[in-house]
Amino acid sequence: MQKAIDRFYKVLEFLLIILLSGMAVMVFVNVVMRYAMNSGLTVSDELARYFFVWVTFIGAVVSFREHGHMGVETLVALFGRKGRVICMAVSNVVIIGVSAIFFWGTWKQFPINWSMSAPVTGLSMGFVYGIGFFTGAGCVIIALERLIRLLTGRVTEEELAAFAGENMSLEHLAERS
C-alpha cells in the first residue's frame, strides 16, 4: 500500500516537472518568436497559464503531504506533546472542513465552467477549474489519515515536530521567503 502511495506521488512529481518545464519552454519560445519573427503564438500564453494553475494545485497537495505550507508555529511550539496533539487534531479538522468546501464548491460550479471555453484554445474551462476536485479531495484524504492516526495514537514524533515547525529543511525555509 505504502509503495503504491509513494509511486503515486512520484507520478505527481514527474507531472510537476513536465508542467513547469512546459510552461517555461512555451513562454520562452513565444518571446523569441515575438522578437525574432515579430509574431507570437497566443495559444502558448493561454496554455502556459493553465499549466500554471495545474502546477499550483497539484503542487499544493504534494507540499501539504510534506508539511510544506507556511504556518505560524510560535504558539504551538510552546506546548508539550499533549497540547501539540490537540492543536494538530483541531487544525486537521479545520483543513478537512475547508478542503471539503473547496471540493463541494468545485462540484456546484462545474456545469458553468464546463460550458465555458477558453478564449484562444477553446479548451473547456472545466479542465482548469476541475483541478479543485483533485486538490480538495487530496487535502481531505491526507488530513483525514493524519487525524485518524492522531486519534488512535499512531502519529510519529517527526510529524509532531514538523507540525511545531521544528527541524525545517533548507528547502522548506526557502519556500517561505
Sole binder of other proteins in the list 2, 152, 156, 177 (CB under 8 A): 177
- CB nearer other proteins, residue 4 or residue 174: 174
Please state, in angstroms and rounded to a whole number, the distance separating the CA atoms of residues 51 and 56.
9
Q: Does 151 bind other proteins (CB under 8 A)?
A: no
Region from 1-9, 30-38, 150-158 binding other proteins, contact rule CB under 8 A: 30-38
Q: Does 137 bind other proteins (CB under 8 A)?
A: no
Whose cell is 518571446? That residue is 31
Q: Does 88 bind other proteins (CB under 8 A)?
A: yes
- Spell out the residues 6+ positions from residue 31 whose beta carbon is closer than 8 angstroms to its own: none
Q: Does 116 bind other proteins (CB under 8 A)?
A: yes
Sole binder of other proteins in the list 5, 8, 81, 112 (CB under 8 A): 112
Q: Does 74 bind other proteins (CB under 8 A)?
A: yes
Distance of alpha carbon 136 from the chain centroid: 9
DSSP string for residues in 96-117: HHHHHHHHHHHHHHHHHHHT-B
Sole binder of other proteins in the list 44, 47, 132, 140 (CB under 8 A): 132
Sole binder of other proteins in the list 70, 81, 148, 151 (CB under 8 A): 70
Positive or negative CA dihedral for 11, 60, 158, 98?
Answer: negative
Region from 1-9, 146-154, 165-173 binding other proteins, contact rule CB under 8 A: 165-173
Half-sphere exposure in the Cβ direction for 103 (13 Å, CA) = 15
In the complex, the smallest distance separating the C-beta of residue 67 from other proteins, rounded to whole angstroms, is 8
Beta bridge partners of 117: 124
In the complex, the smallest distance separating the C-beta of residue 1 from other proteins, rounded to whole angstroms, is 24
Sole binder of other proteins in the list 5, 17, 148, 151 (CB under 8 A): 17
Cα three-residue angle 84-96-169, rounded to 5 degrees: 50
